[in-house]
């Protein structure tokens, strides 16, 4: 008997190709360009998803020729791309790459960027459409935006900007950055990256909710007991003390990724999947989030411990961290979305570094069955249904349901119905940056954050951080390799609940 091929296994490479364009990467010698951006461009080239006529100009301070830049990018692609290295794919991409060495603040250097870009556009037929990627530290942001804005030419094709996080340090600084952008660019020309939105499983949350008839009728306070969102990292700060000491977990993860996951989980169905419809619904959730009181938020910092079999230092012992630092490496909160759908259904969220393992999950815990006729037979093992979205690793979705144990009697146990991306689709899961760079070339901002979302996110974070000034817990308060401070467990125990552990 022959089996029919799985129609889903074809993968998702069926997208329209963008118009000819040039990508200008500011910060081309940096970590992001090497580890994420160039490998993403290579993956797009590999699948023939880049424009037919395409060019890249890299800009940074490091002294190097185009030839040296191209060979360091080839090494980066070999080291970080998800596809095998193919000389023909690389060479077709590399033929359109140039490098310009300059300080962003140097006008003569920026003249050379413009000249190189114009020449390359003519050579490659890139058509005058320009996507600028700001892979630069926050201090360089304004200078680069000004350079691009002042040199933009009217009527020559589109101009777009991809802006990296962090977008500001608080609401006031985010508004200031927006002011800088708005001097030269319209909102639909600005693409603020939150790379979580580029992850397949995060988008699958939208598919799960809005492409299936069975979930939406029960996606509310009547059927859902609570939601848990976990963004756990096993790694420490990886030498980024300069950034982390002034950010902490609340600015690094909670302000953007975590709140975006809350918004996607809680949002109303958009009328369509255009950027504004989706973002209109997300921003309503962000506005409906009440500021958690001091009893509903917990922060922590890791001490020494063991992670994945290795002894690791405490946060305060990391190079560049103050010996008495009280910066949080962990944050947990009980959030309430004060609207008709969610009133009374808490969203427990947590994010931390040096936790027991790397895991990002959204767990929707449904109410218990109202009348459990099998209670005395269940041996206490029957838990409420949980829909678990694995954002990373092992991308997929699983539903915990009660099932009868084979054999005599009526014993019930929790089992899992699993969908794993790796098993259902032949095409591997694309890196978030592939999707996002392609979307920006196509002018689709659905998976990027709009200025009003960023503003609402900071509004909440400012209120939380403001509250923290009155009282600082003793730090460190959790050992590396554990699941965070005891107070985070108590946050749920008080409500008769506990964090998921698997």
Ligand X SMILES: NC(=O)c1ccc[n+]([C@@H]2O[C@H](COP(=O)([O-])OP(=O)(O)OC[C@H]3O[C@@H](n4cnc5c(N)ncnc54)[C@H](OP(=O)(O)O)[C@@H]3O)[C@@H](O)[C@H]2O)c1
Catalytic residues: 257
Among 27, 51, 476, 485, binds ligand X (CB under 6 A): 27
User: Which class for 344: exposed (0-12), middle (13-18), buried (19 or more C-beta within 10 A)?
Assistant: exposed
Does position 32 interact with ligand X (CB under 6 A)? The reply is yes
| Contact range with ligand X by CB under 6 A, out of 99-107, 145-153, 248-256, 446-454 | 99-107
Total residues binding ligand X (CB under 6 A): 22
Separation CA 498–CA 332 (nearest Å): 13
Separation CA 18–CA 49 (nearest Å): 8
**Closer to ligand X by Cβ: residue 75 or 86:** 75
**Closer to ligand X by Cβ: residue 20 or 198:** 198
Q: What is the dihedral of CA 215, 217, 222, 227, to 10 degrees?
A: 30
| Contact range with ligand X by CB under 6 A, out of 23-31, 49-57, 111-119, 305-313 | 23-31
User: CB under 8 Å, gap of 24 or more: what pairs does 371-376 form?
Assistant: 374/402, 374/410, 374/412
Q: CB 196 → ligand X: shortest distance, Å?
A: 11
Among 15, 17, 30, 326, binds ligand X (CB under 6 A): 30
Q: CB 165 → ligand X: shortest distance, Å?
A: 5
**Closer to ligand X by Cβ: residue 105 or 290:** 105
183, two tokens: 């001097």
Q: CB 361 → ligand X: shortest distance, Å?
A: 21
Q: What residues from 119 to 138 belong to the interface with ligand X (CB under 6 A)? A: 135-138
Separation CA 421–CA 485 (nearest Å): 33
**Closer to ligand X by Cβ: residue 102 or 280:** 102
Does position 231 interact with ligand X (CB under 6 A)? The reply is no
Cα 75–chain centre separation? 26
**Closer to ligand X by Cβ: residue 243 or 425:** 243
Does position 255 interact with ligand X (CB under 6 A)? The reply is no
Query: Is the CB of residue 448 less than 8 Å from the CB of residue 191?
Result: yes
Among 62, 246, 274, 498, binds ligand X (CB under 6 A): 62
Separation CA 190–CA 193 (nearest Å): 10
Q: Tell whether the torsion through CA atoms of 136, 139, 145 and 150 is positive or negative.
A: negative
Does position 239 interact with ligand X (CB under 6 A)? The reply is no
Closest by Cα among 157, 104, 151 to 127:
157
Does position 61 interact with ligand X (CB under 6 A)? The reply is yes
Does position 103 interact with ligand X (CB under 6 A)? The reply is yes
How many CA within 13 A on the CB side of residue 482? 18
Collapsing DSSP states into helix, strand and coil, what is residue 252? helix
The radius of gyration computed from the CA coordinates of the chain, to the nearest angstrom, equals 24
Q: CB 12 → ligand X: shortest distance, Å?
A: 24
Q: CB 333 → ligand X: shortest distance, Å?
A: 22
- The single residue listed with the structure tokens 């014993």 is 411
Q: What residues from 64 to 93 belong to the interface with ligand X (CB under 6 A)? A: none
**Closer to ligand X by Cβ: residue 72 or 204:** 72
Q: CB 400 → ligand X: shortest distance, Å?
A: 33
Q: CB 418 → ligand X: shortest distance, Å?
A: 30
**Closer to ligand X by Cβ: residue 242 or 379:** 242
Does position 28 interact with ligand X (CB under 6 A)? The reply is yes
Does position 29 interact with ligand X (CB under 6 A)? The reply is yes
Q: What residues from 130 to 189 belong to the interface with ligand X (CB under 6 A)? A: 135-138, 140, 164-166
Q: Tell whether the torsion through CA atoms of 349, 350, 356 and 362 is positive or negative.
A: positive
Q: CB 461 → ligand X: shortest distance, Å?
A: 17
* C-alpha dist (Å) from residue 70 to 113, 122, 308, 460: 17, 20, 37, 43
Closest by Cα among 417, 392, 419 to 402:
417
Q: Would you tell me which residues interact with ligand X (CB under 6 A)?
A: 27-32, 35-36, 60-62, 103-105, 135-138, 140, 164-166
């Amino acid at each position: 008997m022959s089996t029919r091929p799985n129609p889903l296994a074809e993968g998702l490479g069926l997208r329209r190709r963008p118009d000819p364009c040039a990508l200008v990467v500011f910060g081309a010698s940096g970590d992001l360009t090497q580890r994420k951006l160039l490998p993403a461009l290579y993956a797009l080239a590999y699948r023939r998803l880049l424009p037919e006529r395409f060019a890249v100009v890299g800009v940074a301070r490091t002294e190097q020729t185009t030839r040296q830049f191209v060979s360091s990018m080839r090494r980066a692609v070999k080291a970080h791309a998800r596809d095998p290295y193919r000389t023909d794919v690389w060479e077709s991409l590399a033929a359109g790459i140039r490098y310009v060495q300059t300080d962003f603040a140097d006008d003569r250097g920026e003249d050379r960027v413009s000249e190189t870009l114009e020449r390359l556009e003519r050579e490659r037929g890139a058509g005058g459409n320009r996507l600028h990627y700001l892979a630069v530290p926050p201090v360089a942001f304004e200078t680069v935006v000004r350079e691009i804005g002042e040199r933009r030419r009217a009527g020559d094709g589109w101009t777009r900007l991809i802006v990296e996080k962090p977008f500001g340090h608080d609401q006031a600084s985010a508004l200031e950055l927006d002011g800088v952008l708005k001097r030269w660019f319209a909102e639909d020309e600005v693409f603020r990256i939150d790379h979580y939105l580029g992850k397949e499983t995060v988008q699958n949350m939208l598919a799960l909710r809005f492409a299936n008839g069975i979930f939406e009728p029960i996606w509310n306070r009547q059927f859902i007991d609570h939601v848990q969102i976990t963004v756990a990292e096993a790694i420490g700060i990886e030498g980024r003390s300069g950034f982390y000491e002034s950010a902490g977990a609340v600015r690094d993860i909670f302000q953007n990724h975590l709140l975006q996951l809350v918004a996607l989980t809680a949002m109303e169905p958009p009328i369509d999947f255009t950027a504004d419809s989706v973002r209109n619904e997300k921003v309503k959730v962000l506005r409906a989030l009440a500021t958690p009181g001091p009893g509903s938020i917990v922060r922590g910092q890791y001490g020494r411990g063991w992670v994945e079999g290795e002894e690791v230092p405490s946060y305060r012992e990391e190079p560049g961290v103050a010996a008495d630092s009280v910066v949080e490496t962990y944050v947990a909160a009980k959030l309430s979305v004060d609207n008709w759908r969610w009133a009374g259904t808490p969203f427990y969220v947590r994010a931390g570094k040096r936790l027991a393992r790397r895991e990002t999950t959204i767990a929707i815990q449904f109410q218990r069955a109202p009348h459990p006729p099998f209670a005395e037979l269940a041996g206490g093992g029957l838990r409420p249904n949980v829909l678990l979205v694995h954002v990373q690793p092992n991308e997929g979705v699983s539903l915990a349901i009660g099932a009868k144990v084979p054999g005599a009697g009526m014993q019930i146990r929790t089992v899992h119905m699993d969908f794993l991306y790796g098993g259902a689709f032949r095409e591997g899961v694309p890196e978030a940056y592939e999707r996002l760079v392609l979307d920006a070339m196509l002018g689709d901002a659905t998976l990027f954050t709009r200025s009003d979302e960023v503003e609402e996110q900071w509004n909440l974070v400012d209120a939380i951080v403001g509250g923290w000034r009155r009282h600082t817990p003793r730090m460190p308060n959790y050992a590396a390799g554990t699941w965070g401070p005891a107070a985070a467990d108590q946050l749920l125990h008080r409500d008769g609940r506990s964090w998921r552990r698997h």
